[in-house]
Amino acid sequence: MTTAAQRQVLDQGDIARSLTRIAHEIVERTKGADDVVLLGIPTRGAHLARRLHRKLAEITGNELPVGTLDITMYRDDLRLKPARALEHTEIPADGIDGKLVVLVDDVLFSGRTIRAALDALADHGRPRAVQLAVLVDRGHRELPIRADYVGKNLPTSLRESVKVKLDEKDGVDAVLLGGSGETNASSEGHSN
Amino acid sequence: MSTTNYLIRGARILGGDPQDIRIADGLVAEIGSGLEANGEQEIAADGLIALPGLVDLHTHLREPGREDAETVLTGTRAAAKGGFTAVHAMANTFPVADTAGVVEQVWRLGRESGYCDVQPIGAVTVGLEGKQLAELGAMADSAAQVRVFSDDGKCVDDAVIMRRALEYVKAFGGVVAQHAQEPRLTEGAQMNEGVVSGELGLAGWPAVAEESIIARDVLLAAHVGSRLHVCHLSTAGSVEIIRWAKAKGCDVTAEVTPHHLLLTDELVRSYDAVYKVNPPLRTEADVLALREALADGTIDIVATDHAPHPAEDKQCEWSAAAMGMVGLETALSVVQSAMVDTGLMGWAEVAQRMSAKPASISGIPGHGRPVSVGEPANLVLFDDQYRGAVNPDSFATRSRNTPYRGMDLPGRVVATFLRGEAKVLDGELV
Amino acid sequence: MKRHLISTADLTREDALLILDTAEQMAQVSTRSVKKLPTLRGRTVVNLFFEDSTRTRTSFEVAEKRLSADVINFSAKGSSVSKGESLKDTALTLQAMGADAVVIRHSASGAPKLLADSDWLHGSVVNAGDGTHEHPTQALLDAFTMRRHLNPGVGHDLAGRRVTVVGDVLHSRVARSNVHLLHTLGAEVTLVAPPTLMPFGVETWPCRTSYDLDAALTKADAVMMLRVQRERMNAAYFPTQREYTRRYGLDARRLALLPQHALVMHPGPMVRGMEIESSIADSDRAVIVEQVANGVSVRMAVLYLLLGGSEPAITTSSANTSEENGK
């Protein structure tokens, strides 16, 4: 629900256009996306990866390998919170060795999720290169990490919260920016 | 002889109307209202229950041999704090009290302690091994004048030995107190065999192991015309057998412990070995049957089976832990909770079951007498209105293995007099 | 989940499914070239075994190492029951060493609970089998194995599946843990044993019982054979090994009574020729080796859920990311 404290910054059409643009950029930057493997970071990153997968199929006519990469057990903040349920990791059958892996997530924030994802990836194989696609980059990096493909750069204050809603999970497509007075960040998307 | 005389004000003898009790020269000198002080120490006992000094027929004082758990001195101090003026010391010491020498040693230690009378119980068989009769006559003739014989902790399971013992003690008016536990049925047994033991994976201790021995023994006692006392009944089935035997005219008496009147095997779910005891805690149905039997007289007496153990024998794996609970200092409170507050018994019945009858079973002189003029002033004043959590740190016993830690129990012993001498006043040892 | 794993009776359906689902993810790790996760780096797990069990200890050890925990094997055999203070003193020692979790195997029923309830140590306690009481991780790996074959899928339970457990139920910690867990997961459990090896009060357990193995096989989705020690014969639980095997052993004739899809399971170690015919243990119907492999995944899941956070995973822990804040 969009509360009074939240402002919608992207709607369904915006999100679709952003993903289409990212898909085209991937094809362009990877010169046809022949050896690309899409890995979404659960849960919303996994849905976005599947959407990108469909768009890339439309563009290239090829079904690129797509999978998911759970980074929970590689997080650097495990001991700060209760033990949490794991998400599914699914590496495509042909693996990632020598491939160009595009990690997909919903929000890029501190960069710690991506740091964990890079560690997890190393335990699954040795990609030729790794790139990062995110729907929203909200800034405030705490690690030297940047995205290769960004749906929308969204300047925020640290007190604000960014929430990505996706139809597959939330029943609606939207990106919401929470008011600075909102301290309950529990509605925030998977973003770092 | 006491040097101080006492005038107890307003005590309710056996729970009756408040009266004054004058104690002089070790005897109850006068009972009445508004007695005039005559230089005595006055004790305000308004509303307190006055009972004859309690007599415990089943106490483990551990000396000689396990002085780390209890000594005659610490055990009798605990007894006095619990309102007891006489305790019967069980024979399973190291060495076993199976000779005149050992029973006389215990008897002498009791005299020296001075807190309550100690009447030793002699072993039935040498070393409690159930094979050969101990010198029962020598113990009877000793200074300790033993009349109660028991292998408690172990069962006299050999039917012939049991028969002979029952017969033999008739010569000096003795009684055999049987620890009824069929040994083969209880090999490795850890707790009552029932739903809980099945779930906990602890080897079961079936009720029938107790009941089959009791059934055999009442038949044996009837056959040879002897007196039998059955220790610590714990099952509804045992109650039925005793009831049947008494109806048949068998000369049998039976006891129940306070803990079997209050606690059930559900407590074992904690695996806290403080609840490990022999016989084991049984089910609620058993508890209710035992209460009913104590109320209707099928069970004659309450005996504590006070069984002190050092902490290391209890703070360990259940199967490695020792069996037994301390009970002297909580007995009267537990009986109030289980029997009086439930309306099953009055204080006169409590006095009967915890003083008069146990004294008559053992024949110990001067105890279990009514609170009346001319009798030895063995008295306990009990505050039945008191409510409080049991604090083992305040115990006089050397051990702390009480199952009632932190439990709210009613009542508190305020004063205990042994032949007119105050052993406990204001709840503290004198 | 609670802070300890002592009994499967303590697990809610949600807890149990969380463990099984987590174990599914852990199982993937075993298929990778790098079979290691950094999750429990810096955590110390002690395997405190008062009773020999190379299988169980090794399984835990592999699980702990795959999660990058520091592992200490503390074999206390011989110092257990009979020496009163040993468990307490051992626990105090482990506490002083900074154990974050203690995996305990003990011949005395209740020893893990005693440890968990004591103030001797503050870490999590995982019961790796206590006396004739429980063996919760064995039951979890059994359920995990059954689910994979009978109702595969994350979030799935074992509703309506029929499991027949055969053998020395009286002395079996595996049976106790399985009855609780399988019942929680919706399965229908039938215990089969000679009356002498049936626990007192078993009629109050959430399962059926039978003395007739043949009848209990025809509709079973899984049959679990329990080890029967030959020494039981000496205590007159049954007359001879031959008679036991004839009445309660799994042979080719009985295998034919089972539905085609039914699994043959055994927690090990097996007594071939006693409760199970050797050829059946080796047949493709048997998932006994699979059970062993799954043991590592399940134990990784348990250790992760107990130690992988500031506190154990809570019962209603949801799988989405909405709990995460302060990115």
Q: Residue B389: which CATH number?
A: 2.30.40.10
B305 catalytic? Reply is yes
The letter for the amino acid at B372 is S
Considering the domain architecture, whether residues B392 and B357 belong to the same structural domain is answered as no
Residue with tokens 């192991």: B209
- Name the domain count of chain C: 2
Does residue C188 share a domain with residue C80? no
The verdict on residue C299 lying in a domain is yes
B118 and B255 inside one domain: yes
Structural domain harbouring C43: 8-134+294-314
Please tell me whether residues B387 and B281 are part of one structural domain: no
Q: Tokens representing C208?
A: 């059926």
Residues B377-430 have pLDDT tens digits of 999 999 999 999 999 999 999 999 999 999 999 999 999 999 999 999 999 999
**C-chain residue closest to B269, CA distance:** C110
ipTM comes to 0.90
Task: For residue B400, count CB atoms less than 10 angstroms from its CB and return exposed for 0-12, middle for 13-18, buried for 19 or more.
Answer: middle
Lowest mean pLDDT among B90-99, C233-242, C281-290: C233-242
Task: Specify whether the CB–CB gap between A142 and A134 falls below 8 A.
Answer: no
Q: Considering only CB atoms, which chain A residues are within 8 Å of C22?
A: 85-86
pLDDT at C32: 87
Question: Is it the case that residue C311 has pLDDT exceeding 80?
Answer: no
The answer as to whether B275 is a domain residue is: yes
Quote the pTM value.
0.91
The answer to whether B316 contacts C106, with C-beta atoms less than 8 Å apart, is no
Report the pLDDT averaged over residues B150-177.
97
A residues 113-142 lying closer than 8 A (beta carbon) to C: 113, 119, 122-125
Contacts of C109 in chain B (CB under 8 A): 190, 200-202, 271, 318-319
Residues C142, C227, single domain; the answer is: yes
Q: Is C32 exposed, middle or buried (0-12, 13-18, 19+ CB in 10 A)?
A: middle
B289 and B387 housed in the same domain: no
DSSP codes of every residue in B86-150: EEEE-S-SSS-S-SHHHHHHHHHHHHHH-SSEEEEPBPSBGGG-SSSB--HHHHHHSTT---EE-
Q: What is the CATH number of domain A12-158?
A: 3.40.50.2020
Residues of A in contact with C5 (CB under 8 A): none
Domain range enclosing B394: 6-49+374-429
Give the side-chain half-sphere CA count within 13 A for A71. Answer: 29
User: Is C114's CB within 8 Å of B201's CB?
Assistant: no
Q: Give C37's contacts in chain A (Cβ within 8 Å).
A: 73-74, 123
Q: Is B193 on the interface with C (CB under 8 A)?
A: yes
How does residue A192 score in pLDDT terms, banded at 50, 70 and 90?
Answer: very low
- Residue C1: per-residue pLDDT: 61
CA-based nearest distance A122→chain C, Å: 9
Q: Which of B305, B313, B384, B426 does the annotation list as catalytic? A: B305
Whether C313 sits inside 8 A of A84 (CB atoms) is yes
pLDDT of residue B301: 98
Q: What is the pLDDT of residues A92-144, one digit of tens each?
A: 999 999 999 999 999 999 999 999 999 999 999 999 999 999 999 999 999 99
pLDDT band at residue B278, thresholds of 50, 70 and 90? very high
Please answer yes or no on whether C114 and B200 come within 8 Å at the CB atom: no
In a domain, B1, yes or no: no
Q: Are residues C83 and C191 in the same domain?
A: no
Q: Say yes or no: B192 contacts chain C, CB-CB below 8 A.
A: no
pLDDT in tens, C162-208: 999 999 999 999 999 999 999 999 999 999 999 999 999 999 999 99
Same domain, C261 and C310: no
Give the best residue of C133, C169, C191, C200 to mutate against chain B (max B CB count within 10 A): C200
